[in-house]
Every structure is written in structure tokens, then in C-alpha cells.
Structure 1
Amino acid sequence: MNNVKALSGLIYTPVMTVKEAIEYDDIEGLIIPGGKNDEQRPELTKLINKTYKKGKLTAAICAGPRFFAKTGILEDKKFTTSLSPEYFVEQKKEDPFNWDNFIKQKVIRDGNIITAPGVSFVDFTAEIMDFYKLFEDEAEKKDFGDTFK
């Protein structure tokens, strides 16, 4: 498997493909980062749907929520993203979002779906940690956020 270089310069080494991940029944969650690539292959749609339907963490940041919108899981869920309706017009791309459910906030958690704009990575992380009940209380969650902001 090839390394992946993020826009930030970080280099990631994948340990499995999306097709391989679909076969696992013990996945505890899925986190989709943002980025410019908006290609959604059938195996990604299948993995998103499987994770969401099992009630597992289904999280995306920056432009990543567009993959959730394309599967339809955001149709009746509140969400946020770095994208806007204008982006799709400017790029001449089909807009998959139901913007009636968009809330401009640092992070949105609606059931097992967590979304955030790209600049809110600390809040996004805190909400994921909260999903897994890693904080004793709200004060500890707030302290975590304050430490890294």
C-alpha cells in the first residue's frame, strides 16, 4: 500500500484498504478527513452505511461530510462542514447536502454522526472522545478543549 501525503505535509501509511475494512465486523468507528478528492467509490458508501447502521462512530471533518451526504445518511440529521452551497455552484458539481439541516457550529453531534469544519479539529476530537465516554464529565471535556486551543 502506498503512503498518502496530506495537504498539511503529514504522511500516512494505510494498514488496509476500504474494501478490506468492509469485511471486519468489529470496527468501532469511521473518521473521514476532508480534502479535495470527492470521488466516492461504492466500497466507501458501503462502509459508511455499515458503520452508521450499526450505531458506530461515523465522523467527518472539513469537506468529509460530503461523503455522508452522498450516502443519504445526513438527509434527516443536523450537520456542519467547511463546504457551502456556493462551492458546488462554483465547482459545477452536484450538491449532495440538505442545507436545511446545516448548522454553522464548531462541531455537531446527531446520534452517532459527528461533523465539524476543518478549523475545529480540537472540538471534533473532543466530541469523538466524548462519544466513547472518555471524559468523566463536561468539565473535563471543556478542560481538554481549553488545553489544546
Structure 2
Amino acid sequence: MKQAVFLILDDYADWEAAHLSSMLNQAEEWQVKTASINKEVASIGGFRTIVDITIDEIPENIDLLILIGGNSWAIENEELYYLLEKRLLNGQPVGAICGAVDYLAKKGLLNNFKHTGNSVYLWKEYTDYNNQQNFLEKQAVRDHNLVTANGTASLDFAFEALRMINFKDTASIEKEIALQKLGFYEYSKKYGNPFT
């Protein structure tokens, strides 16, 4: 069984995880777990979440680590930093969206990757970030084992993360994402009614 761990902090952006986690969790070969620094966190939308594991319990060999954005990524946590540094160096899949990308920039963890985020302007004070030339003004960017996205890109983020882990072929992933991206009626015109 493949395992994806979604790392969420207090004030996490619930909508940024929804599409990707539900698609993975509905696949028989995948299991989704949540992790955080604390055992319980609350989302921006007010959902209280008791996480499955804490950061120190995240297995080294998980197939995908996803960092969900929100308002608490201005944190200092050595365990989190070393976990991310090791995964990125070892070529293990990592996805980060919104505030989580800000964290990677601040810690210098984007310096070897093409990437995107909310705005490179927000990072001008980050002394450990020195890769402005590889900031791409796109909704989501995949480079090697890292997917980054801005906070308005939950669907694009899901698409690139699923492609990174070879979840299905690209056309099948596009079709699954299209239902949410296009809406029911436009999807039905393009692909047919999914419920008949």
C-alpha cells in the first residue's frame, strides 16, 4: 500500500488539500494520513482535525509528503526542516502549496528547483533564498521531486502532484481534474455525463 502524508499546521487552508487527498484516498492502492507538530489543529475554515501522526512519526519511506498552506508557516522547527531537506535531497516526492512554499523559500530549500509560489516579492527579505531566476509565474510547477503552487491553485497542484507520482496516465488525470475545473455542464459537453 502506498502512503501519502498531508502535513497541516494550525490555521491550515482546508481547500488546498481537498482535491488531491480525496483522489488519492479513493484509490485502492493509496492510504492518506495527516501529520502535524501538534496532535490537534484547526483549519482556516474552522474544522478541528485530530491528526494521525506527529512529525517525528512520519515514516522515511512514505511515497508522497504534501505540505498544505495556511497562516502558520512562519515557524521554526528543526525536525520539520531536516525532514524536508532530507526528502528533497534524496529525490523523494514532496508537494508544497501557498504558505508552505514560503517556508521552503525562507529556509533555502527552493534553491535547486524551478518553482512558483504566491509571489517572489514576498521573499525579498529571505537571506537563504537565492533562486529568483527560477521562480515561474505559473499556478503550479513540477521540477524533479518537488511540486510547488500558489494558494489559488489547488486543482493545478493536485494535477502536478498526481503526475509526479505516476498516479495514472496524464490524460486520465486531466479528465478527473476537469470535472472540478470545468464544472459539470462543460465537463459533460467535453467528456459526456459522468453519472450515466
Whether the TM-score (by the shorter chain) exceeds 0.5 is: yes
Aligned equivalent of 2:139: 106
Q: Once the 2 structures are TM-superposed, how far is the Cα of residue 84 of structure 1 from its aligned partner?
A: 3.7
User: Which residue, 116, 134, 142 being the options, matches 1:80?
Assistant: 116
| Runs of at least 5 residues in structure 1 that lack an aligned partner in the other structure | none
Report the alpha carbon displacement of residue 59 of structure 1 after superposing the two structures with TM: 1.0
Instruction: State the partner residue of 2:67.
Output: 32
* Contact in 1 for aligned 2:120/2:135 (Cα 8 Å): no
Q: d(CA) in 1 for partners of 2:95 and 2:105?
A: 12
Alignment of structure 1 residues 38-117 onto 2, 5 Å: 38-85=74-121, 87=122, 94=126, 96-97=128-129, 98-117=131-150
Tell me the matched-pair count. Answer: 142
Q: Which runs of 4+ in 1 moved over 4 A?
A: none
Structure 2 gaps of 5+ residues are 1-37, 182-196
CA distance in 2, matches of 1:124, 1:62: 10
Point out the structure with the larger strand share.
Answer: 2
Distance 2:143 2:85 in 1: 15
The CA deviation string for residues 67-90 of structure 1, in whole angstroms up to 9 with x for no partner, is: 2223433113111111442x357x
3-state SS of paired residue (2:53): coil
Answer yes or no: is the 8 Å Cα contact 1:62–1:83 preserved in 2: no
Partner of residue 121, structure 1 = 154
Q: Call closer, same or farther: CA 1:146–1:27 in 2, change over 3 Å.
A: same
Relative to the length of structure 1, the TM-score reads 0.82
Q: CA RMSD in A?
A: 2.0
Which has the higher Rg, Structure 1 or Structure 2? 2
Between the aligned partners of 1:88 and 1:40, the Cα distance in structure 2 is: 16
